[in-house]
Chains A and B, each alone.
Chain A
């Protein structure tokens, strides 16, 4: 067609053969595939989170590829490998985290293994029985970012994001408290025991966590007590058994409350220290924080005095015996016992000023006035002794000795005390005897006697007496002569009467038979009465209703 250019059509433009589109619709398939592939790659890159390592002491429950890492029960990663550390000191778990976890992996972040736990009255992590243990994470945004962690060996009881306040309890002994044990306020569970440890001094220091808003109930005057087990008390109202709950009976726990009178105290801040009482009753008794130590030296046997024995004044407890030790040797020739007593001055502020400044002056004054310590019987049955303070104004003068470890309060020997006491008793009784009156009465009697002896009446009386006696002798002689025959008649008469009586009471006499029958009748009557009484006793209503069948 285009070869022939001689015609007039040569001026016409030549048609262009359109290049056939080489693009086929089928190329969409690989393009779509490429897009999907690119998207998958993008997703894989963006969704791959950081890889971290966590060191544990043991690999119990950690399975590579299976163990999950969870926060608030949501999976945020998984363990990809578990291997033994080079120095064999533990295991290292390598974990792949979700990309979102990147910002929460700092030096403050904690990891621990969650296993099924049956403790403190609750069952937790039951799901791990089926699915195996998992790692729990406590994220934190504070501190430097890091990728290598050391796992906690025991799970924290309270996660830091729980609102509430931590308090410190000081206790003499731990009782039945364990980590995780419940804390109750009016029998509502409001917190838990977070931790406990022993101070260098040997005291127990427990940390409790009280959840918000209940922590607002904790005032500086609040009292915490050990609510474990149950409390049995026998008093005038009868037997009383108290327990916070069944759970505390089994696993122990702590309860707190604020005495109504002290409700207005300030709110206790985090870390406020409280005393942990042994039980509710102990918490209700007044608190004497102040303690002072004194010494008492006894140069006699203290048999029956034991550590913890009460210090008593006027029957009122002031403290306890803290320590007993003998001292002295042959050279010094002194053998005595040193008793250290722990006194709570607040119990008797007038005697022992609670303020440190006047502490010793008031006591010194009391000693000068005759205050002495002495051994006395606390319990007559067991022979337990106690130390009692008393005033003996007549006791040998003594002073407080400040040279020892503790100030010494002078003691009164037990024997002297006893003697002094008995003398006092005798003197007291003697005082009651009305000696003056007795003397007066005696004087009067003596003078009366003298009057009587010296009077002329007495002589006359004696003379009369002698005449009377002569007359009496005469009467007796007459009696002998006249009365004897008459008396013989009387005796014969009596013999006769007795004979007739004998015949009356003879076996076959009528009178005797009658009497016998009468007695039998009386016996029967008595029996009948007894039956009626018995019946009435059993059926008192018979009095009204008559005898039933």
Chain B
């Protein structure tokens, strides 16, 4: 059985890679070579992630309920939420485009939140259930999260490009702001989660068996 860093009471520096011995009873340690913060696990990882996930969940509602664009064309204003945009493309037969928007803007943020909540609960319950799969889930969450920003960029570009006065005009709605907040907060939430926590229960089992 290979030893983990924690088992050997050693700390690895994230910045310079130097391995140093842990000093028990002290929280705040720094790397003797590069002065970077050293820690066995990300501090307060679970609390921080929970906080961000809850914030993201709250923002997810207005992001989907409020209009993200106000389209003015020939004196007539139309407000679109994310879902109404998806439905608009579906009704016009643009299935691929509708799928892209739905995936990037509705499915992915929701999936991320669900995955993070699942990981947090499983870690808090010290579950040892399919650690490897849960780690894959976490990596996927971290990798795919930033792509949700596509929608925000599309809105930004449209607002900047379509400025034809009364003929056609697009303004960003409040929904876009909340949507951007959801995406950014979930990125931070994924960042603050320490995947090593997934494996800790296995170690403790291991210790207990000794």
Q: Tell me if A37 and B61 are in contact (CB < 8 A).
A: yes
Q: How many residues of A sit at the interface, in one of the four size bands?
A: 10 to 19
Once A24-B44, A24-B48, A27-B47 are accepted as A-B contacts, the answer to whether A33 and B54 lie under 8 Å apart by CB is: yes
A37 to B59, CA, bound (A): 7
* B44: nearest chain-A partner, CB-CB: A24
Q: Tell me if A24 and B62 are in contact (CB < 8 A).
A: no
A334 to B75, CA, bound (A): 81
- The residue in A27, A30, A131 that gathers the most chain B C-beta atoms within 10 A of its C-beta is A30
Q: Tell me if A24 and B58 are in contact (CB < 8 A).
A: no
Once A34-B58, A36-B59, A37-B59 are accepted as A-B contacts, the answer to whether A26 and B47 lie under 8 Å apart by CB is: yes
A211 to B25, CA, bound (A): 90
A360 to B35, CA, bound (A): 129
For B192, the chain A residues whose CB sits under 8 A away are 26
The answer to whether the Cβ of B206 comes within 8 Å of any Cβ in the partner chain is no
A131 to B54, CA, bound (A): 42
The answer to whether the Cβ of A145 comes within 8 Å of any Cβ in the partner chain is no
Interface positions, chain B 121-171, Cβ under 8 Å from A, are none
The answer to whether the Cβ of B185 comes within 8 Å of any Cβ in the partner chain is yes
For A131, the chain B residues whose CB sits under 8 A away are 74-76
The answer to whether the Cβ of A476 comes within 8 Å of any Cβ in the partner chain is no
A127 to B192, CA, bound (A): 55
A177 to B185, CA, bound (A): 69
Interface positions, chain B 77-96, Cβ under 8 Å from A, are 78
A463 to B55, CA, bound (A): 173
Name A's interface SS: helix
Q: Tell me if A29 and B55 are in contact (CB < 8 A).
A: yes
Q: Tell me if B76 and A22 are in contact (CB < 8 A).
A: no
For A28, the chain B residues whose CB sits under 8 A away are 51
Q: Tell me if A30 and B78 are in contact (CB < 8 A).
A: no
The answer to whether the Cβ of A132 comes within 8 Å of any Cβ in the partner chain is yes
Q: Tell me if B58 and A26 are in contact (CB < 8 A).
A: no
A132 to B47, CA, bound (A): 54
For A32, the chain B residues whose CB sits under 8 A away are 55
A29 to B50, CA, bound (A): 10
Q: Tell me if B51 and A29 are in contact (CB < 8 A).
A: yes
For A24, the chain B residues whose CB sits under 8 A away are 44, 47-48, 51
A34 to B59, CA, bound (A): 8
- The residue in A27, A29, A37 that gathers the most chain B C-beta atoms within 10 A of its C-beta is A29
The answer to whether the Cβ of A338 comes within 8 Å of any Cβ in the partner chain is no
Once A36-B58, A37-B59, A40-B62 are accepted as A-B contacts, the answer to whether A27 and B75 lie under 8 Å apart by CB is: no
The answer to whether the Cβ of A66 comes within 8 Å of any Cβ in the partner chain is yes
For A130, the chain B residues whose CB sits under 8 A away are 74-76
A46 to B173, CA, bound (A): 20
Q: Tell me if B44 and A66 are in contact (CB < 8 A).
A: no
The contact of A26 among B51, B75, B76, B78, by CB within 8 Å, is B51
Q: Tell me if B52 and A127 are in contact (CB < 8 A).
A: no
Once A131-B75, A132-B76 are accepted as A-B contacts, the answer to whether A30 and B52 lie under 8 Å apart by CB is: yes
* A20: nearest chain-B partner, CB-CB: B27
* A34: nearest chain-B partner, CB-CB: B58
* B53: nearest chain-A partner, CB-CB: A30
For B181, the chain A residues whose CB sits under 8 A away are 33
Q: Tell me if B61 and A29 are in contact (CB < 8 A).
A: no
A66 to B77, CA, bound (A): 8
The contact of A37 among B52, B62, B185, by CB within 8 Å, is B62
For A127, the chain B residues whose CB sits under 8 A away are 75
Q: Tell me if B58 and A33 are in contact (CB < 8 A).
A: yes
A130 to B74, CA, bound (A): 6
What is the minimal beta-carbon distance from A1 to any residue of chain B, in angstroms? 12
Once A24-B47, A24-B48 are accepted as A-B contacts, the answer to whether A30 and B76 lie under 8 Å apart by CB is: no
With contacts A30-B52, A130-B75, A131-B74 known, what are 17 further pairs, Cβ within 8 A? A24-B44, A24-B47, A24-B48, A29-B51, A29-B55, A29-B185, A30-B55, A33-B54, A33-B59, A34-B54, A34-B58, A36-B58, A36-B62, A40-B62, A40-B66, A127-B75, A130-B74
- Residues of B participating in the A interface, judged by any CB pair closer than 8 Å: 44, 47-48, 51-52, 54-56, 58-59, 61-62, 66, 74-76, 78, 181, 185, 192
18 contacts between A and B (CB under 8 A): A24-B44, A24-B48, A24-B51, A26-B51, A29-B55, A30-B52, A30-B55, A30-B58, A32-B55, A33-B55, A34-B55, A34-B58, A36-B58, A36-B62, A66-B76, A130-B76, A131-B74, A132-B76
